[in-house]
Structure formats: C-alpha cells, structure tokens
C-alpha cells in the first residue's frame, strides 16, 4: 500500500524539480525573446548538470532576476511566477506583449511518481515551451528588435496581471503536469492587436506612435520588479537602440511631424485651455478640432502684429499650436517659446510620459551584460509641461495666443526689404535672426517667385482687407515657428513648417462668409441668364473643344 | 541488428491515437512546412540517449535544440539538434515533395509519421509493429498567380503553422499512452537507438499521393528510416 503522503525524499525532490523548472522556464522564455536564433548541442553522455535532459543555457542575469523574484518561494496556489514580455520603442513608449504564467492549482495527483513521471513530464513541458515561444506574435517582433524598439522582460511573483495586454488578448496553454502537491500549469496570454500589425511596420521609421499610445496603459500595480532588455550580451553592438537625443537647440521640429526625442513639445491637457477672447468681429470663428480655442481664420482679416514677443512677456504667454497632422490620439502638443526669442531649449527628456514604475533598461548585474539601451532621460516620467508651465507663466496666458499673419505671404520681396519684424509671414519674429542669403545656404533651392498673385493671395486681398493688415491692433494668435527639421531657409523665412501650417487651415473663402456670401449668391443668380446666353452663343466652340478631348 | 517488422498492424483497433493536420501550401513551401511539423512532433518524442548501468538503472543524455528559420514561409520552429535526424526527415520529405510534383494531379497528398513498438514474435512470424501514435499531415498544393499573392501566402501559411504547432503541443500535453520505459534488452523495441546523439521513439514515415478523384493512386510507399540510414 502506498503511502498517500509524499515521502520526505520525494517532497524534497519535487520542490527541487519545481524550482529548477521555474528557472528553466524563465530562461527559455527570455532567450526566445533575445532576437537571435538559439542553438544548443545534444550530448549523448549525460553531463549531470542539464536539468530535465535538455540543453538550456543559463544566462546568469536572468537566473539572478528569477531567483530574486521568487525569493526562495515556489509557485503555489495564488502565487504564480510570471514573465512579462514587453516592447519599448526608441521614443520611450512601451507596450506589454505577453505574460507567461507558471501557476499551481490545487488538483493533486497523488499516484504519480515524482522522480520519474513528473520529471519526464516537466521535460516534455519545457520542450512544448520551446516550441510555443516561437509561435506567438512577439517572437517575430523580437527577432527584429534593436533599432526602433527593444524587447524587455520582467519577472514577478504573485498574482497574474493581465490588464496591460489590451482588449481581446488570447491565451495559449503550453501544458500541465500533475504532481502530488498540485498541478503545474504553464500558459501564455498575449496581446493580439499585434497580429494585425504587420512586422513590416516596425521596419519603417515611425509613426508607430499612434499604435503604441493607444495601448499604453498605466500600470495599476506599480511593480517592484524592474524591466530588463532581453538582449543581454555585452560588448556587442546590438544595433543603435535609440537615436541619440540631440542637444542642438536649433533643431526643433514643429508638432506635425512625428516626434523625435529632440522635439520641443510640451504636453498639456485639455483642461488648460480656455476660450480665447473674441477678436475681429467680421471674421469667422472656426472651431479647431480637439482644442477648445478658436482659431481665428479669415482671409485678410487676420490681424497681424509683430509684437515684441519675448518669453515671459505678459502678452505672450504660452503660445499654442494646433497641428492637424497629428494623430488624433496624440496628446495636444504645445511648442514652448523657450528662453530666448524664438528658439526654445530642447528638453533633455522625451516629452511623452512613460509609465510610472521603474523600468530599468540597462542595469548591469553581476558584471554588466546589458546593452546601454536608453539615455537615462527616458526614465523620467514627469511630463515636461509641468516644468514648462513654471517657466512660462500661468495657464491663463495660454490663451493669449496671437496669430500673426500678414497679407501676401508669398510675395517675394527682395531680401533687404525683408526684416524679421514685418515679414508677411506668420511667426516672423520667431524666425531665426540671421536670415541668410540663399546663396550661402547650400540646401536652398529657392522656387521661382510667382509672377502672378496666387489665388490664395487673391483671397487674402479681398475687399477692403488690406487696410486691416496694418491695423494690427487685433491680436488674435501667434504661432511660434521654429525651423522644422529638413526644411530649408528661403529668401523668405517661410519654411515648410510655416507653409504647412498656414495652408492646412486656409483662410475662408470670402464667398463663404455669411454676410458676403448671401450677397454674392444673389449676384450670381442675377448674372446667370447673361452667362447662359454667352455659353449658348459659343456652343459650337465648346463642342469642338470636347471633340478634341476624345 | 534485427530488421524491423513488416507492415504495421491496422491502426485504430490497436489503440493507436491518430491526429490529422491539414495545410495548404505553395509547392515551394511543402518541404519547410512538413519539416516544421515533423520536427516539432519529434522534438516531443525524442529523449537523450539512454545509458544503462548496473541494477537496471539508466541515465539519459542531453537533448539540444535549435531554431530553424523558413525561407519560403514567415515562420520559425525548434528542432532537436541532431544532424542525423534532420537528414532522415529531409530525405523523406524530399521524396514526398518529388512524388507530389511528378504526380501531375492537383497536388494533394499526405505524409504520415507513425510511432510504433516492436513486439517480438516467435519464428516464423516476423516481429509485429504496433503503432501507438499516428500523425497525418494532409497537404494541398496551391498555385499562385502573382507575387502579391505569394507574399500573402508566406504570411498565411506562417500563421497556419503556428496554429499547427499549438495543436501538436495540445496533443502532447494530454499525457496519454506512452510506451513503458524499457529495460536494456527491450530498448530497441521502443526507441530508435541508431542515432548517436538523440533517441527518438521508433517511428516510420510514409506518404500517399491523392489523385484528383481523391483515391489513392500510387501504392503506399513504406520507408523504414532505419534501413535508409543503414544504406
């Protein structure tokens, strides 16, 4: 008759098996996310050190982390060992991809032989784990890591937390092994949204921001265990993991481009916006998507004031730029004025809030084999808006935004007539002080100046408008412009960023403005019969023309 | 070394567990898809080499593993680190692929991996082979018109194979019948001990090509891998 209780030897063996099984499980998972092909040799003579008769290498740091997480305990009911695999982009956003769970439930198999059956089944389970780790979506992602993102792992012990995986995550069971003290279960819960993201997306440069941000979840449980990159090898160049943060203060892209770390953007929540004071009465207020201020758009009626804007001036406050090109999921972005007129200091950290808990990217343990993955700044989680608000005055000032716009933005004036202050372009005063002649700028290939006025100019010049351009008493908004990346210096400091912004919200056609619109409509109707008569007269010509097209 | 027995006794009646997988692939993907499945099964059905010691105990060698990337499929799998085993599987799959190609039919066929145990019989009867697990992979070869379709096929087949791997692992996890661990005298009735670094359960690979009417045209060709290795 078999003793229903486990013999002490069996118990000791079982505990040891479970412990080493847990350690090997972690090794298999992390190694499968290193981004490289794994290869170990078979050996016909038993070496005695290969647990479960499988050649699985032990990466020391990984064992260390696993032991730390386990803290001398074993998986038991309610105490699961979890290996969390996540992805972190070069901009500092991260996303949980998978949670591998080693759990124990209460279902016991008293009859099973520990030293033999349990051991062999644990070995089989590890083989299954080797196979399954290659078929979840994260595997292919991890093989492509290094340039735009890295794969991190984190081990924790306790309750399984699946909330970071997004909606609709899938589960795959790797296997179970019954033991006299409970049934060991190994499974993986993985995010499936990735399944719709072709791996090729990660081969292009961003934007991947929009996707990442959607999945970004504040961790409900600030974890105490740090994240580590899966690729651990020292000395090797694992590929440039992150682009270096530029400290040049000259480069400051406008917010419609996707945001590299050097971009001077400040994230401010909607709550800070108030409605701006109404400006010119005969302009149309066009509500701008997402933001609560009105962007005063009208043709020529935009007033222009080359105000002497310096940072911290009470009039100026904190300018706001709306860029329609942004992914709607982006937090609203501001461009700070910076300390000197025009060019803001580039913050030393990426503006996007990263998650609150510790996330160590490069923690060399026991001799440091982690690649230096991030500039230390990415750990800083406070949004830059906190700091920038302090610089730039009260939130009230946010609304003293002045849109400066002069008539004739494309007029090609000789350069010596152009001064910063009265240039017919927005943000003139924030353009760099030294406007170089195009000859000096090797990148410049200036377009021919338009002979005729562009249609837009036409609308800018509609009736009686030119007068108001000198009025300049109505300060609507100012948009601060900085040199967008890769744009060129023209004769006019009308650069790509300015152009884009300007013409993304074109002035309303005068015919669309209500008061004028009705008028012109009436006029149109009146003139119709006349026009029709003319067309009728020329019908033959038109027909001939149509013939030529066929 | 005794030659293996003749044809295996009929399957289902003998308590042989049978699993069927189906894949649709392009002609150039046949080999990699078959290897992926067969290697995954054999990963679970191979142990380290047994070393018997006195008093009936034995120690087990170590099984190494390695990642294999597919060239024609967006897929990777793990196989046992054994060149002999890989060669044997490639040979069988290569023959299957050739037979598929030359059959001229719609490109349908199936390849089977059967695990069996030998049961010794008295003379003049040959030893019996009793299967205990049978894996059948049904293959449907598709022809694609353009590069875009081929690219989609790469991904789709990759996803399908991921599902197959999960299916295989599910079966393995049921912990159903496995032959008893043999004594030293019986080991060759349970395991293929001919390889130098690993020890799979005794297995054989066979295949059939189906003609357009769905009937089996060519006779089942039985290859005993042990024999081919011995050549």
Matching residue, tokens 């795959």: A172
Which chain B residues contact residue A132 at CB under 8 A?
A: 165-166, 169
pLDDT of residue B123: 79
**CATH code where residue A35 lies:** 3.30.900.10
Terminal C-alpha separation, chain B: 14
- The domain spans of chain B are 17-211
Residue A81 lies in a domain: yes
Q: Do A55 and B198 touch (CB under 8 A)?
A: no
E strands, A132-274, where?
149-158, 170-179, 182-190, 228-229, 266-267
Distance CA B136, CA B151 (A): 27
- Residues of chain B with C-beta less than 8 angstroms from the C-beta of A45: 49, 51, 61
d(CA A122, CA A134): 19
| Contact check, Cβ <8 Å, B44/A42 | no
The mean per-residue pLDDT over the stretch A312-341 comes to: 35
User: Nearest by CB to A44, which of B44, B69, B196?
Assistant: B196
Task: Give B187's contacts (C-beta < 8 A, 6+ positions apart).
Answer: B50, B52, B193
Instruction: List, in sequence order, every residue forming a beta bridge with B203; answer none if it has no partner.
Output: B115
Residue at A137 is within a domain: yes
In chain A, what residues touch B165 (CB-CB under 8 Å)?
Answer: 131-132, 134-135
How confident is the model at residue A546, as a pLDDT?
A: 85
**Residue A121: closest C-alpha in chain B:** B175
Burial of B39 (0-12, 13-18, 19+ CB in 10 A): buried
Quick one: which H or E segment has residue B67?
Answer: strand B65-69
Mark yes or no for CB contact B173/A128 under 8 Å: yes
In the three-class reduction of DSSP (H, G, I as helix; E, B as strand; rest coil), residue B172 is classed as: helix
Inter-chain CB proximity A37 and B48 less than 8 Å: no
The pLDDT assigned to A493 comes to 59
| CA gap A48, A64 in Å, rounded | 21
Query: Which DSSP symbol is given to A509?
Result: P
pLDDT tens for B131-150 read 999 999 999 999 888 999 99
Q: Give this prediction's pTM.
A: 0.56
Round the average pLDDT of chain B to a whole number and report it.
86
pLDDT at residue A73, as a whole number: 92
| Per-residue confidence (pLDDT) for residue A259, from 0 to 100 | 29
Distance of alpha carbon A385 from alpha carbon A395, whole angstroms: 11
A32: in domain: yes
What three-state secondary structure class fits A214? Answer: helix
Tokens representing A21 are: 């099984």
Burial of B177 (0-12, 13-18, 19+ CB in 10 A): exposed
Write the burial class of residue A286 (CB in 10 Å: 0-12 exposed, 13-18 middle, 19+ buried): middle
> Among A56-60, A234-238, A487-491, B213-217, whose mean pLDDT is lowest?
A234-238
* Residue predicted with more confidence, A207 or A545: A545
**Is the CB of residue A9 less than 8 Å from the CB of residue B23?**
no
User: What local confidence, expressed as pLDDT, does residue A123 receive?
Assistant: 96
Q: B116 versus B107: which is more confidently predicted?
A: B116
Mean pLDDT of A479-491: 54
Across residues A155-162, what is the average pLDDT?
A: 91
pLDDT of A451 higher than 50: no
Tell me if B60 and A53 make a contact (CB, 8 A cut-off).
yes
Give a yes or no: residue A468 inside a domain: no
| Position A400 pLDDT exceeds 90 | no
For residue range A173-197, list pLDDT tens digits in order: 999 999 999 999 999 999 987 544 4
Residue B14: predicted pLDDT: 55
Q: Which domain holds residue A156?
A: 8-190
In CATH terms, is domain B17-211 a member of 3.30.900?
A: yes
How far CA B14 is from CA of A294, B8, B173, B187, in Å, comes to 81, 10, 21, 21
Distance CA B23, CA B40 (A): 15
Label residue A439 exposed, middle or buried (CB < 10 Å: 0-12, 13-18, 19+): exposed
Give the count of Cβ contacts less than 8 A between chain A and B. Answer: 121
Q: What is the pLDDT of residues A57-86, one digit of tens each?
A: 999 999 999 999 999 999 998 899 999 999
Q: Do A134 and B76 touch (CB under 8 A)?
A: yes
In angstroms, the Cα distances linking A499 to A262, A301, A525, B168 are 22, 19, 36, 59
- Are A147 and A240 in contact, with CB atoms under 8 Å apart? yes
Query: pLDDT tens digits, residue range A122-138?
Result: 999 999 999 999 999 99
Q: Which helix (H) or strand (E) holds A492?
A: none
> DSSP label at B209?
E
Let me know: does A501 contact A323? Beta carbons within 8 Å: yes
Mind listing the pLDDT tens digit for each residue in A1-47? 444 567 888 899 999 999 999 999 999 999 999 999 999 999 988 76
| pLDDT tens digits, one per residue of A286-297 | 333 333 333 333
User: A94-105 and A170-179 as β-strands: parallel, antiparallel, unpaired?
Assistant: unpaired
Higher-confidence residue of B181 and A417: namely B181
Q: Do B173 and A174 touch (CB under 8 A)?
A: yes
pLDDT for residue A234 = 38
Asked whether residue A346 is assigned to any structural domain, the reply reads: no
Look at residue A107 and tell me if it is in a domain.
Answer: yes
The torsion angle over the Cα atoms of residues A35, A41, A46 and A47, rounded to 10 degrees, is -60
In a domain, A63, yes or no: yes
* Angstroms from B191 CA to nearest CA on chain A: 15
- Judged against a pLDDT cut of 70, whether residue A326 lies above it is answered with no
Rounded mean pLDDT, A239-257? 31
Confidence at B163, pLDDT banded by 50, 70, 90? very high
Mean pLDDT of A505-523: 63
E strand intervals along A284-344:
284-287, 294-297, 333-334
Of residues A333 and B31, more confidently modeled: B31
Q: CB distance from A41 to chain B under 8 Å?
A: yes
| Pairing mode, strands B128-142 and B17-26 | parallel
And the tokens for B162?
């991921």
CA distance A401 to A479: 7
> Domain count of chain A?
1
What ipTM was predicted for this assembly? 0.89
Predicted local confidence at residue A476, as pLDDT: 52
Report the percent of chain B where pLDDT is more than 70: 84
Structure tokens at A411: 């007029």
Residues 6+ apart with CB under 8 A from A433: A342, A420
- How confident is the model at residue A114, as a pLDDT? 80
Would A76 be classed as within a structural domain? yes
Contacts of B196 in chain A (CB under 8 A): 44
Q: Which residue has the higher pLDDT, A307 or A441?
A: A441
Q: Which is more confidently placed, B22 or A223? A: B22
Average confidence (pLDDT) over B50-75: 91
Which one of B33, B42, B68, B78 makes the best mutation probe of the A interface by having the most chain A beta carbons within 10 Å?
B78
Contacts of B80 in chain A (CB under 8 A): 42
Average pLDDT on A515-524 reads: 63
Contact A125 B173 (CB under 8 A): yes
């Amino acid at each position: 008759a078999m003793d229903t209780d486990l013999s002490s030897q069996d118990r000791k063996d079982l505990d040891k098996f479970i412990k080493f099984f847990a350690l090997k499980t972690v090794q298999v998972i992390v190694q499968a996310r290193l981004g490289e092909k794994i290869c170990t040799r078979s050996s016909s003579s038993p070496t005695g050190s290969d647990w479960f008769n499988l050649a699985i290498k032990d990466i020391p740091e990984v064992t260390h982390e696993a032991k730390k997480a386990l803290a001398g305990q074993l998986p038991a009911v309610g105490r699961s060992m979890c290996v969390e695999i996540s992805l972190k982009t070069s901009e500092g956003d991260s996303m949980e991809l998978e949670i591998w769970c080693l759990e124990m439930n209460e279902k016991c198999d008293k009859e099973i032989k520990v030293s033999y059956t349990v051991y062999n089944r644990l070995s089989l389970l590890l083989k299954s784990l080797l196979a399954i780790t290659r078929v979840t979506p994260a595997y292919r992602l991890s093989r492509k890591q290094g340039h735009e993102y890295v794969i991190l792992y984190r081990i924790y012990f306790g309750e399984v937390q699946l909330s970071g995986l997004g909606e609709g995550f899938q589960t795959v069971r790797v296997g179970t092994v019954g033991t006299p003290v409970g049934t060991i279960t190994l499974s993986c819960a993985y995010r499936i949204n990735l399944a719709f993201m072709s791996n090729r997306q990660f081969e292009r440069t961003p934007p991947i921001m929009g996707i990442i941000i959607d999945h970004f979840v504040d961790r409900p449980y600030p974890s105490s265990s740090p994240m580590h990159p899966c690729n651990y090898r020292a000395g090797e160049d694992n590929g440039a993991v992150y682009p270096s943060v530029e400290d040049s203060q000259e480069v400051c892209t406008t917010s419609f481009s996707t945001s590299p770390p050097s971009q001077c953007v400040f994230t401010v929540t909607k709550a800070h916006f108030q409605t701006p004071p109404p400006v010119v009465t005969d302009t149309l207020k066009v509500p701008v998507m997402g933001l609560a201020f009105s962007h005063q758009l009208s043709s020529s009626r935009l007033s222009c004031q080359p105000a002497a804007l310096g940072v911290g001036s009470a009039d100026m406050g904190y300018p706001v730029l709306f860029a329609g090109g942004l992914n709607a999921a982006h937090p609203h972005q501001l461009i700070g004025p910076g300390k000197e007129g025009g060019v803001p200091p580039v913050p030393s950290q990426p503006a996007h809030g990263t998650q609150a808990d510790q996330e160590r990217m490069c923690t060399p343990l026991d001799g440091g084999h982690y690649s230096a993955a991030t500039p230390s700044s990415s750990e800083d989680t406070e949004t830059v808006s906190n700091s920038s608000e302090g610089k730039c005055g009260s939130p009230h000032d946010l609304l003293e935004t002045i849109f400066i716009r002069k008539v004739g933005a494309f007029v090609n004036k000789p350069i010596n007539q152009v001064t910063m202050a009265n240039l017919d372009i927005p943000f003139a005063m924030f353009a760099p002080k030294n406007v170089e002649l195009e000859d000096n700028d090797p990148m410049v290939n200036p377009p021919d100046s338009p002979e005729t006025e562009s249609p837009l100019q036409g609308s800018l010049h509609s009736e009686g408008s030119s007068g108001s351009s000198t009025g300049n008493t109505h300060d609507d908004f100012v948009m601060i412009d900085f040199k967008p990346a890769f744009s060129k210096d023209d004769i006019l400091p009308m650069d790509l960023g300015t152009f884009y912004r300007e013409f993304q919200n074109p002035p309303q056609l005068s015919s669309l403005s209500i008061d004028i619109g009705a008028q012109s409509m009436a006029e149109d109707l009146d003139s119709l019969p006349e026009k029709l008569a003319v067309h009728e007269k020329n019908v033959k010509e038109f027909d001939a023309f149509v013939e030529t097209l066929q | 070394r005794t030659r293996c027995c003749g044809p295996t006794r009929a399957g289902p009646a003998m308590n042989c567990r049978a699993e069927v997988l189906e894949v649709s692939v392009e002609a150039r993907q046949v080999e990699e898809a078959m290897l992926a499945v067969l290697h995954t099964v054999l990963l679970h059905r191979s142990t380290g080499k047994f070393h018997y010691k006195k008093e009936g105990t034995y120690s087990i060698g170590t099984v190494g593993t390695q990642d294999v990337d597919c060239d024609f499929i967006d897929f990777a799998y793990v196989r046992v680190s054994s060149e002999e085993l890989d060669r044997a599987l490639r040979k069988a799959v290569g023959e299957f692929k050739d037979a598929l190609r030359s059959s001229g039919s719609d490109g349908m066929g199936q390849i089977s991996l059967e695990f069996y145990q030998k049961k010794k019989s008295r003379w003049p009867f040959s030893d019996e082979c009793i299967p205990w697990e049978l894996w059948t992979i049904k293959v449907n070869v598709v022809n694609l018109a353009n590069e875009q379709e081929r690219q989609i096929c790469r991904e789709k087949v990759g996803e399908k194979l991921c599902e197959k791997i999960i299916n295989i692992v599910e079966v393995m996890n049921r912990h159903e019948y496995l032959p008893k661990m043999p004594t030293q005298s019986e080991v060759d009735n349970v395991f293929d001990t001919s390889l130098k670094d690993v020890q799979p359960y005794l297995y054989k690979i066979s295949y059939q090509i189906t003609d357009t009417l769905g009937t089996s045209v060519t006779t089942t060709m039985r290859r005993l891998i042990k024999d081919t290795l011995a050549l």
